[in-house]
Each structure stands twice: as C-alpha cells, then as structure tokens.
Structure 1
C-alpha cells in the first residue's frame, strides 16, 4: 500500500532523485558513534532540531485554544491545562521543551566553537547559527508572557526594563516591546504576534539557510 502511494507521488513529482540525494549522502567516519565515542558531541545539532519540531507541533496545538487578550489569556491557559484531554501534557512538553531547546542549542554552539567548526569556509554558517540562537532566545522571552499570570507579568516587566537600559536605543526598544508606556494589552498582543508569526518565520528561514550551508560545505573535520 505504501509502495503504491510512493509510486503514485513519484510518478507526478519525481521525488526519487531528491530522496536518493539525501539518503545516499555519506557521513564522515568521525561522527559515527560506532567508531568514535566523541561522535556523540555531533548529535547536539540534530537533537536541537528534533526539539524545535516538537515545539512547533505542540505550539500549533496550544494556539487552537489560546486567546491572546488580557481578559481571557489566563483563563484559556487554565482551560487548556485542566479541561482539554492531554492538554496538560502538551503544554508541559512545550514549556519544558523551550528550556531543553536552549540547552541543546548552547551545547551545539560549544561543540562548534571548541572543535573550530566556525572557521574557514564556515564563517557565514556560524553567523547564521548565532542568529538562530538570538531568535530562540526571543521565542523564549515572548512566550513567557503569554500565560498572563503574575510571574509572567513581572518577569516581562524586568526584561523590558533591562532592554530599556541599552544605550541610545534602549527607550525605543522598550516602547516597541511594550507597545506603549506599560506592560499591558498591547504588550501581550505584540508578544503573541512575535511568538507565533514573526520569530517562527525567521527561525524557519535561518534553519533552511543553515541546512543548505551544511550540505554544501559538509560536516567539519575531527578535532
């Protein structure tokens, strides 16, 4: 049955060359755990991507129930948490997955740095990776406010105040984040839009560039 479906799709889209190009791509020996124990440090990038996929899928589920306004936001989270089947599990996956993604990305960045994988000819990919790190931190910051409870409110308030302390541009950054002079309805709306639309779009674009560069330049050599 699956073979028939594959043949039907392949006849119309010619996906076999693409699949063969991916499946038959050789992986260097030094990233094979069967030959080198240190190869496990090369898994952090793939694990980060796996967690990001979980974040996207769980976030899509959460967005079906979340109401992004200050009157209903907290109640919608409570409803999802306590009334929807498996809601608490999915929200827990998204909540803890955010922390796991940052940790895995940090470990991946350390691996790239200490193995010298950012050097010629991979300098541009290092820059792309740093932009991915910044976007991931932005996703964590904007998502923290969405439950709209006391912890989220005051943590965001502190974060905005830190941003406001940036020389010259600080006040403008604070106004952009808050949407006004205080953390309120406009702030929640902006953080929701950033968290669900703008930052994920930037992340997907950067990940696409990251994977294309890895494919073209190959995996870096051993330490």
Structure 2
C-alpha cells in the first residue's frame, strides 16, 4: 500500500531523483565509526540537528497549550505539566533539550575547530555555524522567561541589564527586549514572538545555508 502511494506521488512529482541526490553519496572512511572508532566525533553535527528537530517538534506541541500573557502563562505551563497527556514528558524533553542542544553544538564547533574544518574553502560555513550558535543561545534566553515564574523573571531582569550595559547600543537593545523599562507583559509578549516566530525563521534559513554548503563542499578531510 505504501509503495502504491509512493509510486502515485512519484509519477506526478518525480521525487525519486530529489531524495536520491540527497541520500546517495559516499561517506568518507574518516567519518564512519564502523571503519574508524575516532570518527564518533564527527557525529556531533548530526546529533545537534537531531536535538534541534526534537526541540522544534516538542515546542510545537507546547505552543498549542501555552498562553503568552502574565496572568495565564504560569497556569498554562502548570496545566501542560499536570493535566495534558504526556505533557510533563514533552515539557521535560524541551527543557533539557534546550541545554543539550547548546552542549552538542559546542562540541561540534570544537571538533570543527580542532580538525581545521573551518579553513578555506569552508570559512563561510564556519561563519554560518557561529551564527546558528548565537541563534540557539537566543532561543535559550527568550524561552527561559516563558514559564513566568520568579526564577525566570529575575534571570531576565539581570540579562536585560547586562544587555543594557553595552556601550552606545545597550539602552536601545534593552528597550527592544523589554518593551519598557521593566520586565512585564510587553516583555513576555516580545519574548514569545521572538522565540516562536523570528528565531525559528532565522534558524531554518541558516540551517539551509549550512547544509547546502556542506553538500557543495563535501565533508572536510581528516586532521
């Protein structure tokens, strides 16, 4: 039945050449753990993408129940945790995944740096990777406020003060983040919008560029 459905789609859209162009390529021996044990360090990039995918899917589930206003935000998170079927599991995945994705991406960047994979002709891909890292950090910062508890409130207040101490642009950045002079309803609304609209759009564009360049330049050689 699945084959018939695939053949029906392929006859109309000719999808076979598309996925074969992506999937059918040789994996160098130095990145294949089955050939060389030290190749496991080349898995950090794929693992990072796996965690990012998990974060996107779990975030979509949480967004169906979350209410981004200061009156109901905490109660909606509590409802997800206590009442929604498997809500505590999905929220736990999203919570711990936020830390795990930063760790995995940091390890991936260390591997790229120490194996010299950032050098020509891949320096632009390194820049894109660094931008992805900053976007992931921004995800963590904006998402931390969304439960709207005491810890999230004061952590955001401290973080915004640090941003406000930047020379020249600091006050403007702080106002842009908070929406006013203190953490409040506008801050929560802005952080939610940034977290679920602006940052995902930026992440998808950067990931597309990252994968296109990897596909074009191929995997870097061994150290």
TM-score after normalising by structure 1: 0.99
Q: Deviations 1:130-151 (Å, cap 9, x if unpaired)?
A: 0000000000000000000000
Residue in 2 that maps onto 1:104: 104
Does 2:28 match 1:28? yes
- Aligned residue in 2 for 1:133: 133
- Figure out how many residues of one structure are paired with residues of the other and give that number: 223
Partner of 1:113: 113
Q: Which 5+ residue runs of structure 2 have no aligned equivalent?
A: none
Deviations 1:158-199 (A, max 9, x none): 100111111111111100000011000000000000000000
> 1:23: how far off?
2.4
Please list every run of 5 or more consecutive structure 1 residues that lacks an aligned counterpart in the other structure.
Answer: none
Distance across 1 between alignment mates of 2:130 and 2:147: 28
Give the SS at the match of 1:221.
Answer: coil
Taking the TM superposition and a 5 Å limit, the aligned residue runs for 1:85-96 are 85-96=85-96
SS in 2 for 1:116: coil
Q: Distance in 1 between matches of 2:58 and 2:23?
A: 28
Please say which of residues 11-20 and 105-114 is displaced more in the overlay.
11-20
* Partner SS for 2:168: coil
Determine if the alignment matches structure 1 residue 78 to structure 2 residue 42: no
What is the CA distance between 1:37 and its match in structure 2? 1.1
Deviation at 1:27, TM superposition (A): 1.2
Task: Please identify runs of 4+ aligned residues in structure 1 that moved more than 4 A.
Answer: none
1:34 is displaced (CA, Å) by: 1.4
Over aligned residues, Cα RMSD in angstroms? Answer: 0.6
**Inter-partner Cα distance in structure 2 for 1:37 and 1:168:** 50
Tell me the distance in 2 between the aligned counterparts of 1:168 and 1:149.
31
Residue 197 (structure 1) aligns with: 197
Query: Which residue of structure 1 aligns with residue 171 of structure 2?
Result: 171
Task: Work out the CA distance in 2 between the residues paired with 1:92 and 1:33.
Answer: 30
User: Residue deviations 1:104-144, cap 9 Å, x none?
Assistant: 00000000000000000001000000000000000000000
